[in-house]
């Protein structure tokens, strides 16, 4: 075989390998983008692919928030205004004086914070009776809080 022919064949094989690698990467990016868009648009999602356990938060609604995040303060205000059967928990790593959370129980819990620190706050979590996160939402607007709570069946019904 002539050297130029071998070089052409090796080049084409390398280009095909790179093409398939790029196609696989773009497919993953598209899947992740669609999943994030569904969470953001719907305000809610099943936590199926994300396995988070929060011991000590069984059966509670948890808002994970960071004091330097303006959206987190909006989410806290929105959750303060929503009627709930049980007092929701505001999970943070900062002193409770940082927050105006009258209707929320503020917990500074570094171990629980580490379990959810990979998510971008604010994060609204519904924790089931075994301590696993059953639902999660990434609220970007105050209406996302009530929409998520209604979808999860946690919104207190007012009799009319």
> Domain check: are 54 and 74 in the same one?
yes
Report if residue 71 sits inside a domain. Answer: yes
Quick one: pLDDT at residue 99?
Answer: 83
**Quick one: CA torsion of 115, 118, 124, 129, rounded to 10 degrees?**
-30
Please report whether residue 55 resides in a domain: yes
User: Is 56 strand, coil or helix?
Assistant: coil
Considering its fold, how many domains does the chain have in total? 2
For the stretch 9-29, pLDDT in tens is 999 999 999 999 999 998 888
**pLDDT tier for residue 39 given thresholds of 50, 70 and 90:** low
Spatial CB neighbours of 30, under 8 Å, sequence gap ≥ 6? none
Q: How confident is the model at residue 160 (pLDDT cuts 50, 70, 90)?
A: very low
Q: What are the pLDDT digits (tens) for 129-151?
A: 888 888 888 888 888 888 888 88
Are 112 and 56 in contact, with CB atoms under 8 Å apart?
A: yes
Q: CA angle 119-99-45, nearest 5°?
A: 30
Q: Which domain holds residue 59?
A: 45-152
Beta strand 45-46 with 89-92 is unpaired
Question: How far is 159 from 80, CA to CA, in rounded Å?
Answer: 20
Q: Quick one: 2 and 77 in the same domain?
A: no
């Amino acid at each position: 075989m002539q050297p130029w022919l071998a070089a052409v064949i090796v080049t084409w094989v390398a280009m095909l390998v790179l093409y398939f690698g790029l196609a696989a990467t773009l497919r993953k990016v598209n899947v992740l983008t669609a999943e994030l868009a569904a969470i953001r648009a719907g305000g809610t999602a099943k936590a199926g692919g994300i396995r988070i356990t929060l011991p000590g938060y069984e059966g509670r609604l948890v808002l994970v928030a960071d004091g330097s995040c303006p959206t987190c303060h909006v989410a806290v205000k929105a959750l303060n205004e929503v009627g709930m059967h049980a007092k929701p928990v505001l999970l943070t790593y900062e002193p409770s004086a940082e927050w105006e959370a009258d209707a929320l129980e503020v917990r500074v819990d570094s171990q629980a914070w580490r379990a959810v620190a990979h998510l971008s706050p604010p994060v609204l979590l519904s924790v089931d009776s075994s301590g696993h996160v059953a639902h999660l939402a990434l609220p970007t607007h105050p209406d996302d809080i009530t929409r998520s709570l209604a979808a999860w069946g946690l919104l207190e019904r007012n009799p009319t």
